[in-house]
Amino acid sequence: MYFVYIIYSTSLDKFYVGTTDNVERRLIEHNSKEYLNSFTCKGVPWVLKLSYLCDSSEKAYKLERFIKKMKSRKFIIKIIDDKKILDAICLNKL
């Protein structure tokens, strides 16, 4: 099982999109500043806004890239509010 996840930092007012096989562990890693040179170490604390289960790591990475290519905060907020949008994307694009 792989997930696409979206986390949010109030201090940066930014979203971060990623892929993982364990959402809880990954959120802890982001908030622990484990990777000091990473973008997310600057935005602690991060809050999980979306976790979306994918059939495979390949689909999860493709969906992550699709979301990032949109470069749209409005799009990210829409998919957080309605996960069905991601279902449609997976059926039609991936």
The per-residue pLDDT for range 56-83, each reduced to its tens digit, is 999 999 999 999 999 999 999 999 999 9
Residue 3 pairs in a beta bridge with 20, 53
Q: What's the confidence (pLDDT) of residue 59?
A: 96
Long-range contacts of 58-61 (CB under 8 A, 24+ apart): 59/2, 59/90, 59/94, 60/2, 60/3, 60/4, 60/19, 61/2, 61/19
Cα 43 from Cα 52, distance rounded (Å): 22
pTM for the model stands at 0.94
Each residue's pLDDT tens digit, 9-43: 999 999 999 999 999 999 999 999 877 888 899 99
φ, ψ at 12 (rounded to 5°)? -95, -15
